[in-house]
Structure 1
Amino acid sequence: MEISVGHTPDSDDAFMFYGMFTDKVPSPDFKVNHVIEDIEKLNRKATDPELDVTAVSVHACAFIPGYTILRSGGSFGINYGPIVTAKKMMTIDEIKKCKIAIPGKMTSAFLLLQLMIGKFDYVEMNFSDIPEAVKSGKVDVGLVIHETQLSYEQEGNVKILDVGEWWDKTTNGLPVPLGINVMRTDLGMDTIVKFDKYLQASIEFGIEHFDDAIEYAMQYSRGKERSLIEKFVKMYVNKVTVNMGDPGEESIRRMFAMAKEKGLVPDFEISIANK
């Protein structure tokens, strides 16, 4: 079966798909054509299903009823996640008065920050442009994701809020739900489960062949040094990535319950692949 698979130009996604996309983990069932797009573009594509399988922000699941969440391939933070940066320290009240640069309205980071501080004024921009926009004064505050969570000091900015730590304390230690992979529901649960296991095998292969998988992922390093990319991958390719299990599923359901209560997402039911 030929299927289209979308992932982001990010090192953690590349690491996860290394085995699959290099045919080091072959499948008798699937021939994969992969599409690489920024996460917010993939989120928007998923609202009118273009891809059979795609990485999306967990937040996007509120707007893509045609997809089922896979149990493997999720990006969950373990007491860490998106951060908010500025050129100087600020109080939450000061932050709320600023226009905050966000990496997209459908990103989980945006939803989590709204849950943390309430609604706020924002401007959307590509996540990789946010650190420089903060440093140059184009914006006062930036919501930062991906490897720029680790490099903000090198970019001359300071961390003023830690969304991941807030989530960890608020939920008594649930993983931070950020990114997941989804598959078109109309392909049927048997096919979805079969692909889910294929993706899980690719992730496990990457973990077992860490150095080779990192070397492959470095093509998406955006100029960051290898040591930082290794740290980033180890943060976001963890045991919950291999299989979200009950903690990952509970964290997704908890985030949406909180968001529905505050009127931040429509009322909907999520679909998650069978165990």
Structure 2
Amino acid sequence: MFYGMLTGRVPSPGFSIKHVVEDIERLNRRALDPALDVTAVSVHACAHISGYTILRSGSSFGLGYGPIVTAAKEMTIEDVKKSRIAVPGKMTSAFLLLQLMIGKFEYVEMNFDEIPRAVREGSADAGLVIHEAQLSYGQEGNVKVADVGEWWSSTTGGLPVPLGINVMRTSLGTDVIGRFDRYMRASIEYGMEHRDDAVDYAMQYSRGKPRGLIDKFVGMYVNAATVDMGKSGEQAIRKMFEMGAEKGLVGRTDVTINGA
């Protein structure tokens, strides 16, 4: 998504970019005090942060798929509900979505890339996995015991699974936000048009995963909804907060989406 922007292949309309690479839950927590002008956050984090406007471009939506729960052995959904589950952070969308699916559960927080080993070695009964571990869990010695993305899709009539978004400080004004959103969109479109080069560039953030797996993962989460979330993306975000509020899992449901 950022290949065109960060390499200068997509000219900047007056912005100077400093790339900050951190774990998504750390970015969620940093957004509680809006210091970064633009940041990636989990959709769920928007229930806890203020002062940011959601950009239309750069979002990660699952189209019928999303986070999964893995374990070292087969489990029923009732087993999962009773398990101590490793999660990648309380502010992640995956955490809220799993709560919507199975209700409140016992959990332990850890970095997302530590979860597969914790499950395999038994320090957690199950793990809520995001990113490439959605594809590599079998190679890591675990099995899939629940599919949060499939549940969301069937429950909402096919709405995309709301996972990650980009937000920009509202105080910068609608004109600046609009220009940056278009800049982000142009970078994403450039990356999609030069996919092989963009994936090569992204491999520096691959966490040791093979290129084939990264390429497949990119194909899952850099899609038409990434270019622009569209009405279905807006509906999915608002639906997740409505469902969360009904169950007492989120305290606020009002979000500001650029252009909505």
Alignment-derived partner of residue 211 in structure 1? 196
- TM-superposed CA distance for 1:79, in Å, is 0.4
Residue in structure 1 matched with residue 169 of structure 2 by the alignment: 184
Aligned residues between the structures: 260
Q: Confirm whether residue 163 of structure 1 aligns to residue 148 of structure 2.
A: yes
Please tell me whether the aligned partners of residues 77 and 178 of structure 1 are also in contact (alpha carbons under 8 angstroms).
yes
Q: State the SS of the aligned residue for 1:56.
A: strand
Identity over aligned residues, as a percent? 70
Q: Could you say what secondary structure the match of 1:31 adopts?
A: coil
What is the CA-CA distance between 1:50 and the residue it aligns to? 1.3
Give the distance between the partners of 2:107 and 2:168, measured in 1 at CA. Answer: 31
Q: Confirm or deny: 8 A CA contact 1:70 1:196 kept in the other structure.
A: yes
Whether the aligned pair in 1 keeps the contact of 2:58 and 2:184 (CA below 8 Å) is yes
1:49 aligned residue: 34
TM-score, structure 1 as length reference: 0.93
In the alignment, what sits opposite 2:139? 154
**Which residue of the other structure, out of 34, 37, 43, is the alignment partner of 2:22?**
37
The whole-number CA distance in structure 2 between the counterparts of 1:267 and 1:32 is: 31
TM-fit CA distance, 1:28: 2.9
Q: For residues 223 and 29 of structure 1, what CA distance do their matches in structure 2 show?
A: 35
Alignment correspondent of 1:145: 130
Write the deviation string for residues 155-201 of structure 1: whole angstroms up to 9, x where unpaired: 01000000000001001111000000000000011110110000000
AA partner of residue 18 (structure 1): Y
* Correspondence for 2:228: 243
Aligned to 1:83: 68
Q: Residue 267 of structure 1: CA displacement?
A: 2.4
What corresponds to 1:221 in structure 2? 206
Mapped partners of 1:90, 1:44: distance in 2: 32
Separation in 2, partners of 1:100, 1:222: 23
Tell me how far apart the structure 2 counterparts of residues 219 and 87 of structure 1 sit (CA, whole Å).
30
Q: Which residue of 1 aligns with 2:84?
A: 99
Deviations 1:9-61 (A, max 9, x none): xxxxxxx0111011111113211111111000000000001100000000000
What's the CA shift for 1:88?
1.1
**RMSD between aligned residues:** 0.8
AA matched with 2:4: G
Task: Answer yes or no: is the 8 Å Cα contact 1:189–1:274 preserved in 2.
Answer: no
Aligned-partner SS, 1:160: strand
> 2 CA distance for matches of 1:175 and 1:151?
22
Shift in Å at residue 147 of structure 1? 0.4
**Unaligned stretches of 5+ in structure 1?**
1-15
Paired AA for residue 218 in structure 1: M
**Unaligned stretches of 5+ residues in structure 2:** none
Measured in 1, the distance between the counterparts of 2:40 and 2:252 equals: 22
The residue type equivalent to 1:136 in the other structure is E
- Whether contact under 8 Å (2:61, 2:225) holds in the other structure is yes
